[in-house]
Chain A
Amino acid sequence: MQTKKTSELNGRFGQYGGQYIPETLMSEVTKLAKAYERYRNDPDFQAEMMDLLKNYANRPSLLYYAKRMTADLGGAQIYFKREDLNHTGSHKINNVIGQILLAKKMGKTRVIAETGAGQHGVATATVAALMGMECEIFMGQVDTKRQALNVYRMELLGAKVNSITTGTGTLKDAVNAAMQEWSRRTSDTHYVIGSVMGPYPFPTMVSDFQSIISKEIKQQLQEETGKLPDAVVACVGGGSNAMGAFYHFIDEPTVRLIGCEAAGKGVDTKQHAATIERGSVGIFHGMKSKFLQNEDGQIDQVYSISAGLDYPGIGPQHAALADTKRAEYVGITDDEAVEAFEYIARQEGIIAAIESCHAVAYVMKLAPQMKKDQIIVCNLSGRGDKDVAAIARYKGEKIYD
């Protein structure tokens, strides 16, 4: 498997990846890499993790055939991988269970995490509660407002939520704050990075933990149709749900892999977060990858209606997959995502996260162009309850949660 081979070369994926972090964190990150290398092949660790995924997180998640959408769009057969049905409502829990279990093995008693939409924060607060660990979440001030309900959820679960006012007050700033907190306190604390980003071993580890998504898709689709999908579509912010959905198909050349980036108000405006489409190579948040930045290397203030995709970078594996053209990346605007949000609700009775609706929007474009015997699997990375009030406001309704 391409990703496995490259990840063993100290976290390099082509020219991307690496460990570009302050010396204060290097010793801890090195310990983490060693612990991960040990436990990733440890049958007891894997068994414990699988037990939690099955009996706590509700895995395997359904692979659902979207009959009405398939008929309405009149092209490829459409399947949704229902990560929205996981406990806590998104794919984030797959990674959090793995990392917190690992943190526990390393003797940590406290976890910290950044969050954008709040899904990763909620997942971290949940598993921290389950495992009796102290938990602190860092969330941009703008995001605490647009995702107020998730802030209360995290507090309900016993976590302390820090509202970050620096910079744009969004996901990037939450990552900065969490990294700073970690550099203050590593002895008892693990930083649960929520996406396939940051210094090695995070991109490798997070994509391993999320790879269960494509493992299940492959098996479930095989059982149902005896085939591989023709296309796998997923939204991309940092890129963890997409890496999870792509992982076991990377070495299947007939499967198109399509990542949907947030084009916000359009990639030709300044208000978007389409990193592959408009970014350039840089070094930030511990990794060499693609970033939206100016010619001096100052990181851009990006924008998306979706707090979870509102990030100026992308994981190094995606940057490499884009370079080799193994995966395609397309931009989806706010308007298209909101249209998809309404469409999937009416067609299938599913309220999907606005992040995931970026992928649904692309399925709406792609399916009619494909043949009826072809198959698209779209990863529904999360549920949309958190977005209902914000979308209502976007549509001009005066609703507040």
Chain B
Amino acid sequence: MSQLLRDTKERKFMTEQRLREAFGKQHKTFIGFVTAGDPTFDKSVASILALDAGGADVVEVGIPFSDPVADGPVIQDADLRAFAAGITTTKVFELVEEVRRKSDVSLVLLVYLNNIFKYGYDRFFSKCKQVGIDGVIIPDLPMEERGEVLPFAHKYQCALIPLVSPTSAKRIPQIVQGTTGFVYVVSSMGVTGVRSQLDSNLEDMIAAIRNSTDAPIAVGFGIHTPEQAAKIAAIADGVIVGSAIVKIIAQNTAETSKKITEYTRKMSKAIYKINREKSL
């Protein structure tokens, strides 16, 4: 859409700012997830643009992993579809470049550490900056081990988004220390996937995080209905939806993009109703 994005100088500044802007809007932030290359390169580009069109403020793009230990069956299957279509880390970056030609929506990557490790930490984050990735979520990198990654994320101004889980408790202050981007709160134990009930502990978790950081807080894992989204938006700054979107993509029909846009609109509307001021 925006001509100016083709200007690399401009893009350099955008990388740092886009995430901040996504969480700086009047309304709460909607984050949608797509597995890169699911079910094909072109179709996943279309899905990301469909999320943008429906009002997603941030799109989380998953790099498929052979053994996604933190993911449930829905995202595991998406990874398999993407592999069948020949996705590689190099192609994920090409896919992001393709999206960036048409959209300036904030993009973060969900990537298991081994994919980054093999690509090379410096090379990976340098590439992130080059193509316009604003942040990276690494599900198998706890704070104990992030020292080997953080310098490279900092060097290329890429947010390393920390995860907080229902069992983090005393670990929270250290986990969220120095957060750039946002804090990703895992709503419940286990793996990704839709759930009918979310952890009742959520409010306490969010309060504990707010005690330690001013960074925005987004909640993910299990959220799929507008009602759940609205409830979460009342206490957090953003809502992350993954498996529910991937399920629409899995149907793989001519209507997929339209359905994603409609679903995103419905979800974002539900959270737009919650005034940002109210919960702050």
A184 to B167, CA, bound (A): 11
> 11 A–B contact pairs at CB < 8 A?
A20-B113, A23-B163, A23-B164, A23-B168, A24-B165, A24-B186, A172-B67, A183-B69, A183-B70, A293-B114, A296-B89
Q: A180-B69, A183-B190, A298-B66 are contacts. A26–B142 as well, Cβ < 8 Å?
A: yes
Give the distance to chain A from B92, nearest Cβ to Cβ, in Å: 10
User: Chain A 171-188, CB within 8 Å of chain B: the 1/0 string?
Assistant: 011001001100111100
Q: A23-B165, A26-B144 are contacts. A284–B67 as well, Cβ < 8 Å?
A: yes
Give the distance to chain B from A25, nearest Cβ to Cβ, in Å: 8
Nearest residue, chain A, Cβ from B167: A27
Interface residues of A in 1-40 (CB under 8 A from B): 10, 18-24, 26-28
B67 adjacent to A176 (CB under 8 Å): yes
Q: How large is the interface on B (under 10, 10 to 19, 20 to 34, 35 or more residues)?
A: 35 or more
Give the distance to chain A from B88, nearest Cβ to Cβ, in Å: 5
* Contact residues in B for A283 (Cβ distance below 8 Å): 113-114, 117, 140
* Contact residues in A for B141 (Cβ distance below 8 Å): 20
A166 to B191, CA, bound (A): 15
A297 adjacent to B142 (CB under 8 Å): no
Interface residues of B in 103-127 (CB under 8 A from A): 112-119
A19 adjacent to B144 (CB under 8 Å): yes
B67 adjacent to A167 (CB under 8 Å): yes
Give the distance to chain B from A273, nearest Cβ to Cβ, in Å: 15
Give the distance to chain A from B162, nearest Cβ to Cβ, in Å: 8
* Contact residues in B for A281 (Cβ distance below 8 Å): 117
A24 adjacent to B67 (CB under 8 Å): no
A21 to B191, CA, bound (A): 13
B189 adjacent to A185 (CB under 8 Å): yes
* Contact residues in B for A293 (Cβ distance below 8 Å): 114, 118
* Contact residues in A for B112 (Cβ distance below 8 Å): 297
Interface residues of A in 190-232 (CB under 8 A from B): none
A238 to B145, CA, bound (A): 22
B69 adjacent to A179 (CB under 8 Å): yes
* Contact residues in B for A26 (Cβ distance below 8 Å): 142-144, 165, 167-168, 171
A-B contacts besides A167-B67, A183-B190, A299-B114, 10 pairs, CB < 8 Å: A19-B144, A20-B142, A22-B163, A26-B165, A27-B167, A27-B171, A183-B69, A296-B119, A297-B115, A297-B117
Interface residues of A in 320-348 (CB under 8 A from B): none
A147 to B24, CA, bound (A): 57
A296 to B89, CA, bound (A): 6
B243 located at the interface, meaning its Cβ lies under 8 Å from any Cβ of chain A in the complex:
no
Of A166, A185, A186, A286, most B-chain CB atoms within 10 Å? A166
The residue from A183, A284, A285, A286 contacting B189, defined by CB atoms under 8 A apart: A183
Nearest residue, chain B, Cβ from A31: B167
Nearest residue, chain B, Cβ from A24: B165
A282 located at the interface, meaning its Cβ lies under 8 Å from any Cβ of chain B in the complex:
yes
Interface residue tally for chain A (C-beta within 8 Å): 36
B118 adjacent to A24 (CB under 8 Å): no
A184 to B116, CA, bound (A): 26
The residue from B67, B69, B142, B168 contacting A19, defined by CB atoms under 8 A apart: B142
User: Chain B 12-32, CB within 8 Å of chain A: the 1/0 string?
Assistant: 000000000000000000000
B115 adjacent to A24 (CB under 8 Å): no
A20 to B114, CA, bound (A): 10
B-side residues, CB < 8 A to A, are 65-67, 69-70, 73, 76, 83, 88-89, 112-119, 139-145, 163-169, 171, 175, 186, 189-191
B113 adjacent to A23 (CB under 8 Å): no
* Contact residues in B for A167 (Cβ distance below 8 Å): 66-67
A36 to B186, CA, bound (A): 28
Of A27, A186, A283, A299, most B-chain CB atoms within 10 Å? A283
Q: A21-B140, A22-B69, A183-B191 are contacts. A296–B118 as well, Cβ < 8 Å?
A: yes
* Contact residues in B for A10 (Cβ distance below 8 Å): 144
A44 located at the interface, meaning its Cβ lies under 8 Å from any Cβ of chain B in the complex:
no
A296 adjacent to B142 (CB under 8 Å): no
A28 to B141, CA, bound (A): 15
A27 to B175, CA, bound (A): 12
* Contact residues in A for B117 (Cβ distance below 8 Å): 281-283, 297
Nearest residue, chain B, Cβ from A18: B145
Q: A27-B171, A282-B117 are contacts. A176–B69 as well, Cβ < 8 Å?
A: yes
Give the distance to chain A from B71, nearest Cβ to Cβ, in Å: 9
A280 to B114, CA, bound (A): 11
A284 adjacent to B145 (CB under 8 Å): no
Q: A184-B190, A296-B89, A299-B67 are contacts. A21–B142 as well, Cβ < 8 Å?
A: yes
User: Chain A 288-309, CB within 8 Å of chain B: the 1/0 string?
Assistant: 0001010111110000000000
Q: A27-B167, A172-B67 are contacts. A20–B119 as well, Cβ < 8 Å?
A: no
A176 to B72, CA, bound (A): 11
* Contact residues in A for B76 (Cβ distance below 8 Å): 166
Give the distance to chain A from B134, nearest Cβ to Cβ, in Å: 21
Nearest residue, chain A, Cβ from B117: A283
Nearest residue, chain B, Cβ from A300: B66
B113 adjacent to A22 (CB under 8 Å): no
* Contact residues in B for A286 (Cβ distance below 8 Å): 140
Give the distance to chain B from A29, nearest Cβ to Cβ, in Å: 9
Give the distance to chain A from B39, nearest Cβ to Cβ, in Å: 18
A179 to B71, CA, bound (A): 11
Give the distance to chain A from B34, nearest Cβ to Cβ, in Å: 19
Of B116, B144, B168, most A-chain CB atoms within 10 Å? B144
B118 adjacent to A282 (CB under 8 Å): yes
A23 adjacent to B186 (CB under 8 Å): yes
A299 adjacent to B66 (CB under 8 Å): yes
Q: A176-B69, A180-B190, A293-B114 are contacts. A20–B171 as well, Cβ < 8 Å?
A: no
Give the distance to chain A from B230, nearest Cβ to Cβ, in Å: 25
